[in-house]
Structure formats: structure tokens, C-alpha cells
């Protein structure tokens, strides 16, 4: 890539930092320069977020219909999956799956809810009185 | 407490931390391309059946930490590494190093890194920063992807050092030890060793999923995605490839340009014209990776995609793989 070809497209980086790019200067020697973003990368990232937002929305609707517990919603919101939630909480994967059931979730002790709240970086009240 | 560590910004975080630390200890010749080339940063693997963030698991880099370890070893330097089973020990060890005025590399997760743009904060645990001081309860941080110094609170530092999940950092701290002056002969030897190792890994590791043949493997999978997964999922898969390929720190095109710069610098130590020829070749290959990313980008731009775009992207990867094979073979012959 030549120095003058560095893409400068607005992106999530704008205002926070810029990417270092290795490029050829006009004498054909390597040098570095900064890029504020590249359309192709931005599109890929936006795409990934669109998918995440959709999953969060789906989870929210399921919680509202009382099909799953709020744990599912917060897991999606915090970009986690069951294995990751398992390593943050120390619960077995199948235990977490059980906690996804509203009927089981409603019987959970404050101590267990606290562990989830800590993993999600929220208050225990957000889990107990779920309103979103 | 604060050491005189100089911030450097680099294309790849591990290069940046490793280069910065060696420069701090007096090895002024070190540059990001040299670090990356000697440490054999280029790699490729596509792990079948494994999913990362709901997409294919591809990596364009060697294992986290290897670049620094390999380069240091080649130059006769030892890297001291420490991981911890609990937060308290990790906290005390880091503070102790800072009090001694010793800047250290820290492996961190980016999900809770407050100064990162929120769109980039995924559960990715192999990010590297330098911690070089503490003022008013804040750690002074040099993050190689940022343009200037940043800071972290004690609470944030604990969160990012003890992020969980794949490649969990476990408070991982590292720094070079027993640094001696490095001779020109040592650098020449190290350069050749790095090149041989990268060529070997890209050409001769067994199995269809690593090195150049791994790129062909991804191409083969790509041709099947649309039929097997449906338009939407196939589009997301393609997006994941582009993110892995061209995002901060990891890279197809990005890494090839650093490698081309490395070969250009290698020529200054070992005046063999072939280095310059192959540097140009890797520049060309890097441009092709970027073109492939643009073609892939057409797929996830809209919801509607066509099989021919998948085929074209796959063909481009095959073409890149063929060129890389030839280039690494030629590199491997340089004595």
C-alpha cells in the first residue's frame, strides 16, 4: 500500500485513536502513517454489532414472555456465552442452563444472584426486579 | 512512582510492548518490523468445528507471547514471565515492579478496558500493554494501539488482568531480564532464523489447516457457506473473517506490510538483493489481502448476497496462498 492510499474513513476509532499502517513513501521505502478507519472494517464491525443487538432483543422478548430468566438477557447483553459465564461465575454449564428456567431462577438464593450480578457488573436488584 | 518509559504506537500490540521494553533497556536498534520478523509473527490456522463469537475460528498470528519470547531468545535475552492464581499476589507483584522503576508488559482482556472504543470491547484476552508507573492511585499505561499514554484505576486494572475465558491472562506480567549489548552478527543470525521458522511454519507444518494450506482450507469452506448456513449466517461468517484479517493488531494485509518492511530492514543487516525483491512481493500480497477484504465486504454490506461473491473471495484466497507459497519458498533459500 502506498502512503497516499491509506483509507481515512470515519469509524468507531475516530476521536479515540488511529491505526498505524505500514506504507510505502514516494521513494518506495517503508514508513508508517495513521488511519482514522477503513470502510470495509467498519462495515464488518457494524455487521457484528447488528447481530449482537438482534440477539439481545430476542433474549429480552423471551424474558418478557417469561420463557427464560433475566440471566439469558444479561449474558447476551454482556457478549457472553455459557462457557464464558461459567468461568466468571464458577457454576457448571448445566447449572447455568438450569438457571435459565424462570421457575428455577425464582428460587435462587441472594448469594447465587450476587455471583451473577458481579459477573455481569450490575446490581442484584437489576436481576431480581427485571425491568428493561 | 514513574519510570522513563517512552510510549510507542505500533500496528500490533505484542510487537509494541516487546519493542518498547527492549528499547527501554537500551536496545535502540529494535523496531516493530524486526520484532515481528525475528519473532515469526506471521502464521495461519483455521480450526475446524470451533466457533469464536459465533463465527469461524481463524487466526493470522502465532500464539500470544511467542513473538517476544522468540525474538528475545534469538538475541540472548531472557523474558521473565509470571502468572497468578489470586488477585492479591498479582496486585502486589505489579506494584513491587513499579516501585522498583521496572516497566512491565501485562496481558489484559479488552472487554473492561475503559479507554477502548466501546465497539471494540469484545471478550478478547490477548491484548498487551505496558504498565510503567503509578500516580494518585492510577496506573500509568502505555498501550501500543493508542496514540498517547493512558491510565487505569486499580479496580479496572484488576478486572482486565483477571478477565476470564479463552486465553485468560491470570494476571500475566512479563519483562526482559539480563540484557546484554547485542552484536550485528547476532542480529543477522536472528533475522535468518526468524525467516526460516516462518517459512517452515507456513509451508511444512503437517495437516490441511495450518500455514499456506490453511488459507486454501478457508477458501474451500467459504465456497460452501452460503448453501450450508443460509445468506445471513454466511454473511456474518464472512464479516468475522474480515475482522480477524484486518482489525487492529491482527491481520492479513497489515501483517504482510509489516513483513515487507521487515525484509527491507533485513537488507540493511544482510545486503542480499533478494530481500528487496521479496519485500516488494509481500507488499503485493498485502495489497491482495486488502482487495480480498473489499470483495468479502460486498457480501456483508447488504442482506442479499450472491454465491458468485463467495466463489470470488475464495478464489482470491487461493491466489494469495499460491503467491505466499512461492514467496516463502524463495525466502527459505536465502542463506
Cβ–Cβ contact B116 with A under 8 A: yes
Domain holding B265: CATH number? 1.20.120.230
| A82 domain residue, yes or no | yes
User: Cell numbers of B126, please?
Assistant: 490477548
User: How much is the average pLDDT of B41-58?
Assistant: 89
Cβ–Cβ contact A18 with B under 8 A: yes
What is the distance in angstroms between the CA of the first residue and the CA of the last residue of chain A? 47
User: How much is the average pLDDT of B227-253?
Assistant: 87
Nearest CA in chain B to A80: B123
Residue A132: pLDDT above 80? no
Residues of B in contact with A32 (CB under 8 A): 11
Cα–Cα distance, B21 to B72 (Å, whole number) = 11
Tell me the shortest Cα–Cα distance from B172 to chain A, in angstroms. 17
- The percent of residues in chain A predicted with pLDDT above 70, rounded, is 99
User: 3-state SS string over A44-99?
Assistant: HHHHHHHHHHHHHHHHHHHHHCCCCCHHHHHHHHCCCCHHHHHHHHCCCHHHHHHH
Residues A23 and A78 in one domain: no
- The domain in which residue B116 lies consists of 13-30+78-177
Q: What is the pLDDT of residue B53?
A: 77
At residue B249 the predicted structure's pLDDT band, cuts being 50, 70 and 90, is: low
Q: What is the pLDDT of residue B30?
A: 97
Residues B104 and B230 in one domain: no
Domain holding A89: CATH number? 1.10.260
Residues of B in contact with A84 (CB under 8 A): 123, 164-165
| B39 domain residue, yes or no | no
Residues A84 and A110 in one domain: yes
Nearest CA in chain B to A16: B117
Residues A59 and A102 in one domain: yes
What ipTM, to 2 d.p.?
0.92
Cross-strand pairs, B81: B174
Alpha-carbon torsion angle B140, B145, B146, B150, nearest 10: -10
Residues of A in contact with B260 (CB under 8 A): 22, 30
Cβ–Cβ contact A100 with B under 8 A: no
Tell me the shortest Cα–Cα distance from B144 to chain A, in angstroms. 10
Residues of A in contact with B257 (CB under 8 A): 1, 21-23, 30
3-state secondary structure of B55: strand
Q: Which of A24, A27, A44 is most worth mutating to test chain B (most B CB atoms within 10 A of its CB)?
A: A44
B241, B235 Cβ separation under 8 angstroms: no
| A99 domain residue, yes or no | yes
Residues B204 and B318 in one domain: yes
| pLDDT per position as a tens digit, B172-217 | 999 999 899 999 999 999 999 999 999 999 999 999 999 999 999 9
| pLDDT per position as a tens digit, A106-130 | 999 999 999 999 999 999 999 998 8
Cβ–Cβ contact A131 with B under 8 A: no
| A56 domain residue, yes or no | yes
Write the DSSP symbol of residue B198: H
Residues A33 and A60 in one domain: no
Residue B302: pLDDT above 70? no
At residue B304 the predicted structure's pLDDT band, cuts being 50, 70 and 90, is: confident
3-state secondary structure of A107: coil
Residues B233 and B263 in one domain: yes
The residue among B123, B132, B134 whose CA lies nearest residue B160 is B123
| pLDDT per position as a tens digit, B88-121 | 999 999 999 999 999 999 999 999 999 999 999 9
| pLDDT per position as a tens digit, B59-76 | 999 999 999 999 999 999
| ∠ Cα B304 B306 B290 (to 5°) | 95
Residue A114 host element (H or E): helix A110-120
Residues B274 and B225 in one domain: yes
Name the CA radius of gyration of chain A, rounded.
22
| B44 domain residue, yes or no | no
* Cβ contact, residue pair A1, B253, below 8 Å: yes
Residues B197 and B275 in one domain: yes
Residues B239 and B127 in one domain: no
| A42 domain residue, yes or no | no
Q: In whole numbers, what is the pLDDT of chain B averaged over residues?
A: 94
- The domain in which residue A13 lies consists of 3-37
Domain count across chain B: 2
Residues B135 and B162 in one domain: yes
| B73 domain residue, yes or no | no
Q: Which of B13-17, B54-58, B214-218 has the lowest mean pLDDT?
A: B54-58
Residues A115 and A79 in one domain: yes
Cα–Cα distance, B181 to B76 (Å, whole number) = 9
| B235 domain residue, yes or no | yes
Q: In whole numbers, what is the pLDDT of chain A averaged over residues?
A: 94
| B56 domain residue, yes or no | no
User: Cell numbers of B296, please?
Assistant: 468479502
Cα–Cα distance, B218 to A99 (Å, whole number) = 37
| A43 domain residue, yes or no | no
| A85 domain residue, yes or no | yes
3-state secondary structure of B3: coil
Residues A107 and A52 in one domain: yes
User: How much is the average pLDDT of A90-114?
Assistant: 97
* Cβ contact, residue pair B243, A44, below 8 Å: yes
Cα–Cα distance, B175 to B17 (Å, whole number) = 10
At residue B246 the predicted structure's pLDDT band, cuts being 50, 70 and 90, is: confident
Domain holding B170: CATH number? 3.90.70
| pLDDT per position as a tens digit, A11-26 | 888 888 999 999 999 9
Residues B193 and B315 in one domain: yes
| B23 domain residue, yes or no | yes
Residues A23 and A69 in one domain: no
Residues of A in contact with B239 (CB under 8 A): 43-44, 47-48
* Distances, alpha carbon A65 to alpha carbons A60, A61, A102, B34, B48, in Å: 9, 6, 10, 57, 36
Residues A29 and A52 in one domain: no
The residue among B9, B53, B55, B16 whose CA lies nearest residue B34 is B16
| A54 domain residue, yes or no | yes
Residues B83 and B24 in one domain: yes
- The percent of residues in chain B predicted with pLDDT above 90, rounded, is 87
Residues B322 and B226 in one domain: yes
Residue B303: pLDDT above 80? no
- The percent of residues in chain B predicted with pLDDT above 70, rounded, is 99
Name the B residues in 264-303 with CB < 8 Å from any A CB.
264-265, 279, 283, 286-287, 290, 293-294, 296-297, 300-301
The residue among B219, B228, B246, B182 whose CA lies nearest residue B311 is B219
| B101 domain residue, yes or no | yes
| B6 domain residue, yes or no | no
Residues of B in contact with A12 (CB under 8 A): 117-120
Residues A31 and A59 in one domain: no
Residue B305: pLDDT above 90? no
Write the DSSP symbol of residue A31: E
* Cβ contact, residue pair B146, A88, below 8 Å: no
Nearest CA in chain B to A121: B112
Residues B233 and B290 in one domain: yes
Domain count across chain A: 2
Residues B216 and B323 in one domain: yes
Name the B residues in 3-62 with CB < 8 Å from any A CB.
9-11, 33, 53-54
By Cβ distance, the residue of B123, B247, B300 closest to A79 is B123
Cα–Cα distance, B44 to B215 (Å, whole number) = 7
Amino acid at each position: 500500500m502506498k502512503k497516499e492510499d491509506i483509507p481515512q474513513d470515519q469509524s468507531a476509532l475516530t476521536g479515540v485513536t488511529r491505526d498505524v499502517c505500514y506504507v510505502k513513501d514516494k521513494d518506495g521505502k517503508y514508513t508508517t502513517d495513521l488511519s482514522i478507519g477503513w470502510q470495509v472494517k467498519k462495515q464488518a464491525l457494524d455487521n457484528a454489532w447488528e447481530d449482537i443487538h438482534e440477539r439481545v432483543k430476542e433474549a429480552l422478548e423471551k424474558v418478557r414472555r417469561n420463557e427464560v430468566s433475566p440471566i439469558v438477557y444479561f449474558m447476551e447483553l454482556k457478549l457472553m456465552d455459557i462457557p464464558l459465564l461459567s468461568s466468571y461465575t464458577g457454576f457448571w454449564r448445566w447449572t447455568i442452563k438450569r438457571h435459565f428456567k424462570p421457575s428455577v431462577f425464582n428460587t435462587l438464593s441472594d448469594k447465587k444472584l450476587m455471583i451473577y450480578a458481579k459477573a455481569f457488573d450490575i446490581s442484584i436488584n437489576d436481576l431480581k426486579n427485571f425491568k428493561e | 512512582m514513574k519510570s522513563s518509559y517512552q510510549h510507542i504506537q505500533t500496528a500490533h500490540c505484542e510487537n509494541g510492548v516487546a519493542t518498547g521494553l527492549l528499547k527501554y533497556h537500551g536496545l535502540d536498534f529494535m523496531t516493530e518490523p524486526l520484532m515481528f520478523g525475528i519473532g515469526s509473527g506471521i502464521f495461519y490456522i483455521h480450526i475446524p468445528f470451533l466457533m469464536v463469537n459465533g463465527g469461524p475460528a481463524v487466526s493470522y498470528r502465532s500464539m500470544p507471547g511467542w513473538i517476544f519470547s522468540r525474538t528475545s531468545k534469538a538475541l540472548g535475552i531472557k523474558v521473565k514471565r509470571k502468572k497468578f492464581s489470586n488477585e492479591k499476589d498479582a496486585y502486589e507483584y505489579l506494584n513491587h515492579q513499579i516501585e522498583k522503576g521496572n516497566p512491565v508488559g501485562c496481558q489484559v482482556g479488552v472487554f473492561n478496558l475503559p479507554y477502548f472504543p466501546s465497539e471494540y470491547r469484545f471478550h478478547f484476552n490477548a491484548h498487551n500493554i505496558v504498565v510503567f508507573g503509578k500516580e494518585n492511585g492510577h496506573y500509568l499505561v502505555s498501550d501500543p494501539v493508542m496514540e498517547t499514554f493512558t491510565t487505569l484505576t486499580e479496580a479496572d486494572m484488576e478486572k482486565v488482568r483477571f478477565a476470564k475465558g479463552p486465553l485468560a491472562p491470570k494476571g500475566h506480567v512479563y519483562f526482559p531480564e539480563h540484557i546484554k549489548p547485542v552484536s550485528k552478527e547476532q542480529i543477522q543470525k536472528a533475522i535468518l532464523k526468524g525467516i526460516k521458522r516462518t517459512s517452515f511454519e507456513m509451508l511444512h507444518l503437517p495437516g490441511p489447516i495450518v500455514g499456506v494450506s490453511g488459507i486454501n482450507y478457508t477458501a474451500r469452506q467459504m465456497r460452501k457457506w452460503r448453501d450450508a448456513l443460509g445468506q445471513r449466517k454466511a454473511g456474518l461468517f464472512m464479516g468475522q473473517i474480515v475482522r480477524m484479517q484486518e482489525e487492529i493488531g491482527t491481520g492479513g494485509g497489515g501483517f504482510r506490510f509489516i513483513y515487507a518492511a521487515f525484509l527491507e530492514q533485513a537488507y540493511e543487516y544482510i545486503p542480499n538483493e533478494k530481500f528487496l525483491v521479496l519485500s516488494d512481493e509481500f507488499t503485493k500480497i498485502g495489497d491482495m489481502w486488502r482487495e480480498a477484504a473489499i470483495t468479502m465486504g460486498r457480501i456483508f454490506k447488504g442482506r442479499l448476497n450472491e454465491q458468485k461473491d463467495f466463489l470470488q473471495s475464495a478464489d482470491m484466497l487461493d491466489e494469495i496462498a499460491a503467491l505466499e507459497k512461492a514467496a516463502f519458498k524463495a525466502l527459505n533459500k536465502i542463506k
